[in-house]
Amino acid sequence: VGQLPQSDLNMSGSSRTNDVGRKVSSPKARKLPPTTTRKGKSASSTKSRNVVKAKVRRIEKKSRTQKTPSRSRVMVKSEASTRNEVVRPTPEECYYATAALAVLHPHVVERNDDRRATLLESCSLRDSITDSVISTMLSQNTTDKNSKQAYATLKKTFPSWSDVVACDDLGRIEDAIKVAGLAKTRAERIRSLLRKIKDERGEPSLDYLRTMSDDEVKEELSRFKGLGPKTISCVLLFGMGRSEFPVDTHVLRIAKNRLGWVPASATRESAYEHLNETVPAEVKLDLHCLLVTHGKHCHACAARGKPQFPPADGSRLDCPLSKSVMPSKMNGAEAAIKKEEKSAVPDSGGVKSSSSSAASTFRKVKVEEDDSITNKRLSVKEES
């Protein structure tokens, strides 16, 4: 085929005529078919599908490798009941722990007996809920000695809470409570709380809480900075005589490491929610105070095995608490508690009272541990 004359070319570029007179498509206008796979799908579509599948596989692999909480750790009480598993602590365990610790620390239950006998609804035998709240705020993250000294100095400097409200010099409040530490933060929170109550109620007094339910008190006090679940629970128990079980660092450590009543991953808040529901109401006051005291004196239950107040003679307490030795049944203590419950008569405030407290009843009962556990007998002397 010879060279085509220029006149034979179609100037549009879409087609041309060859020397035989037939029109052929121009290479520029020819549409090439898309590259296809064996299944007839375009390569671009297949590539995007593969990318999506790869992402799905990576997500699935990541989810399989992630650690999930143990079933036992997330199991709630209703699940345990459904699966016929025992929810701990059982009432019998609580009765036993209270009785056994009362033998080691009799002064604790004697002090609680005084509280119950005088029917004082106050923290550390004080006469108002406001006193209880302020003193409990001062007890946070410090020793009992320092918190008591700080409270005494505060009351000496400011005889009434109205004096604290009227004080514009925050430094005076700080100086009064500096022995407890964190003076600036505590002073700001105490004055802010009292001023807010005065603005809302006309006077800096929290005694209006007496007419509220436990849940209402918790909701009301949680509005103020510095009042967390543990502090509010202490106010309810010591300041208002309510059925509460505060969880401090000693209670949490013993419940986790020694008794196994809460999982190792439990926080103070989650432990409080669980123990406040499961510990019997009649032993909450004694058991809480006994665990706190025991955690300060017992080598086995103290943090890092170093008690804050070890025995003066250098010996170690014979600790009755352990995951392996807690008996499943404590008939003597349980019977004593149930008997006292039936004989208790509600007072005008709806609080049950009786001639002898649950703790003093424990001291009159001989507590015999299971032979397979320690083969020991705890003999308790009769009260004079």
Collapse the DSSP code of 15 into the 3-class scheme (helix H, G, I; strand E, B; otherwise coil) and give the result.
Answer: strand
End-to-end CA distance of the chain: 135
What is the phi-psi region of residue 375: left when phi exceeds 0, alpha when psi lies from -120 to 50, beta otherwise?
Answer: left
Judged on CB neighbours under 10 Å (0-12, 13-18, 19+), 228 is: middle
Residue pair 97/362 in contact (Cβ under 8 Å)? The answer is no
Measure Cα distances from 99 to 38, 115, 300 in Å.
81, 19, 18
Distance of alpha carbon 334 from the chain centroid? 28
The secondary structure of residue 221, as a DSSP letter, is H
* Cα–Cα distance for residue pair 278/276, rounded to 1 Å: 6
Judged on CB neighbours under 10 Å (0-12, 13-18, 19+), 154 is: buried
> Taking Cα atoms as reference points, which of 198, 245, 197, 201 lies closest to residue 221?
197
Q: Is 184 a catalytic residue?
A: no
* Cα–Cα distance for residue pair 127/306, rounded to 1 Å: 36
* Catalytic-role residue among 47, 230, 256, 381: 230
Judged on CB neighbours under 10 Å (0-12, 13-18, 19+), 320 is: buried
The catalytic site residues sit at 230
